């Protein structure tokens, strides 16, 4: 399996032995909710700030009767009793805090949900596989207990720190305490045999700095004298096999180092430790990389993890893939990948991201599961859950955002999504312009088509797109304004209809350089 995106709860996919085979994944990275007691919105906002962006996910947990039943099941099974013990322990702590005022039952519910999913991940991980659980101090100590119980305390490898706030702007300042500027990654393996390619970096030293660090050089190269007691016989034997040991006439052991001299400086290659303070946060990542997605992580972070714990051709799984940074990094590094996210919008966003960044791929190269792949399925979704239908359409065509919360009553202002595109005009710097997207899963009225043009004008957008089923396209065509706009590539309608049938056929909107359509073309501008 490769290049597969599931729009579903990861627990359903992980427990489906046909969807994911036993021991089929080499590396799992997950960046799940942190039990932050917060709602996270999709990032894209309209000019009219009265419109609320749609929620990406809700990280608020409450203990329920169903949770109590599941906990009882875990407690009855000897194989999962340790997980039940950890969860009951967290409930006891919350109960004690509650008596003092300020306690809740969020932690127990959160840990129960994470325990079920982490246990299911163990089934799909190969014996030589690794797993990285991304979290923060909110619940990291409880999650480590779960990981010990599921993957084995002896298979714990590192608690890694990703320092994301290396400046006053980057750290999260909180009154009357130190700023928060790091996340935690709990790194475990499935067994005592696993893939590990030590990540290395380079730094420049002056000759004086190199000597201060204990380096010396002679005709044999750069070396350090090994102090007695600092190296075991086993480690000396490994270094000897690597050809890095030589002995002086007096019997001292010297260790060779691969240092280069460049422009009067010494280039030192070193292995990264468990504190990663050299990677950017999203504030300092490349502008082209930033999608603005809540909790988005930088590509450099995922590239380091994937390089360290997998090889080319291995399979990487992200069960909470959000905006797709993990699968993007995996594709760029020649790994197979599987992504799971409960949001149909997110899986559509990821699909567009991958197609935009890897021009050798076509739409048929990405296997989309859990989203409609026929007109009949699309109609069923539109009837059963209109808002999920809107999210699916907006994600599928690459619309950057939606403007109504799930279940919220009232008008959405005529905006279901916003689509970015790039007109090219002679003598004018290329910059993004916007099309308003409106989605209709049922009948399209003449007034709604006319209103779309007014919405485009009100939001100062360039164009508008009405997405509907083909049997409603006649109304759109008859009622839309016939005005056009143009650029160096051609002329385009200010208002256009786009059918769900065309969407499923992977046809393109009549807009200049939008979504993955602009692959390669932007390079020639």
The whole-number pLDDT of residue 170 equals 52
- Cα distance between residue 107 and residue 94, in whole Å: 8
pLDDT per position as a tens digit, 246-279: 888 787 888 888 788 888 888 888 888 899 988 8
Dig out the tokens for 280 from the structure: 């950017």
Residues in the chain: 525
pLDDT in tens, 385-429: 998 898 899 888 888 665 433 333 334 457 888 888 889 988 888
**Percentage, residues of the chain above pLDDT 70:** 85
Q: Which two tokens stand for residue 393?
A: 């359409």
> How would residue 37 be classed by pLDDT, with cut points 50, 70 and 90?
low
E strand residue ranges, 342-382? 367-369
Question: Within the chain, how many helices (H) and strands (E) appear?
Answer: 15, 24
Alpha helix stretches (DSSP H) within 183-280:
207-212, 233-241
Q: Which two tokens stand for residue 445?
A: 């009225």
CB-based contact 197:150 (threshold 8 Å): no
Least confident residue range of 57-61, 230-234, 360-364: 57-61
- Residue 437: beta bridge partners? 417, 465
In this prediction, what percent of the chain has a pLDDT beyond 90? 51
Q: Which domains does the chain show, CATH number per domain? A: 4-48+124-196+274-369 (3.40.50.150), 200-270 (no CATH), 375-524 (3.40.1350)
| Out of 17-26, 93-102, 110-119, least confident range | 93-102
- Paired tokens of 374: 């026929």
């Amino acid at each position: 399996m490769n290049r597969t995106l599931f729009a579903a709860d990861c627990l359903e996919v992980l427990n489906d032995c046909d969807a994911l085979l036993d021991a089929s994944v080499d590396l799992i990275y997950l960046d799940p909710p942190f039990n932050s007691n917060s709602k996270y919105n999709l990032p894209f906002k309209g000019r009219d700030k009265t419109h609320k962006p749609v929620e990406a996910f809700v990280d608020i947990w409450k203990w329920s009767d169903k949770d109590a039943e599941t906990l009882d099941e875990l407690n009855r099974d000897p194989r999962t009793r340790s997980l039940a013990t950890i969860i009951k322990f967290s409930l006891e702590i919350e109960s004690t805090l509650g008596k003092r005022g300020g306690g809740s039952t969020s932690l127990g519910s959160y840990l129960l949900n994470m325990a079920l999913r982490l246990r299911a991940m163990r089934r799909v991980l190969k014996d030589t596989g690794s797993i990285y659980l991304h979290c923060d101090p909110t619940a990291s100590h409880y999650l480590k207990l779960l990981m010990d119980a599921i993957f084995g305390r002896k298979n714990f490898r590192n608690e890694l720190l990703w320092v994301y706030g290396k400046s006053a702007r980057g750290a999260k300042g909180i009154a009357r305490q130190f700023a928060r500027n790091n996340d935690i990654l709990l790194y475990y393996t499935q067994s005592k045999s696993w893939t590990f390619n030590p990540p290395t970096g380079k730094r420049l030293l002056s000759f004086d700095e190199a000597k201060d660090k204990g380096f010396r050089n002679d005709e044999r190269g750069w070396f350090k004298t090994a102090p007695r007691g600092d190296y075991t016989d086993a480690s000396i034997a490994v270094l000897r096999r690597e050809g890095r040991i030589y002995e002086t006439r007096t019997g001292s052991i010297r260790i060779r180092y691969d240092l280069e001299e460049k422009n009067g400086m010494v280039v030192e290659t070193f292995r990264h430790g468990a504190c990663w303070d050299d990677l950017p946060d999203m504030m300092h990542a490349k502008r082209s990389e930033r999608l603005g997605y809540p909790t988005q992580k930088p590509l450099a972070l995922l590239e380091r993890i994937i390089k360290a714990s997998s090889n080319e051709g291995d399979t990487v799984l992200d069960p909470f893939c959000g905006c797709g940074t993990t699968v993007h990094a995996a594709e760029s590094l020649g790994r197979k990948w599987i992504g799971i996210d409960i949001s149909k919008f997110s899986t559509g966003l990821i699909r567009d991201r991958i197609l935009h960044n890897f021009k050798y791929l076509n739409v048929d190269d990405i296997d989309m599961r859990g989203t409609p792949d026929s007109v009949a399925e699309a109609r069923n979704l539109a009837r059963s859950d209109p808002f999920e239908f809107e999210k699916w359409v907006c994600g599928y065509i690459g619309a950057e955002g939606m403007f109504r919360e799930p279940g919220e009553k009232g008008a959405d202002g005529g905006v279901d999504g916003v689509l970015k595109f790039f007109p090219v005009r002679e003598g004018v710097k290329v910059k993004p312009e916007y099309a308003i997207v409106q989605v209709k899963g049922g009948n399209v009225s003449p007034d709604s088509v006319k209103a779309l043009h007014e919405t485009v004008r009100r939001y100062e957008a360039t164009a508008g797109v009405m997405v509907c089923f083909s049997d409603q396209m006649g109304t759109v065509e008859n009622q839309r304004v016939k005005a056009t706009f143009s650029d160096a590539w051609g002329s385009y309608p200010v208002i256009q209809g786009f059918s769900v049938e065309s969407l499923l056929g992977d046809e393109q909107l009549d807009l200049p350089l939008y979504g993955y359509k602009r692959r390669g073309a932007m390079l020639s501008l």
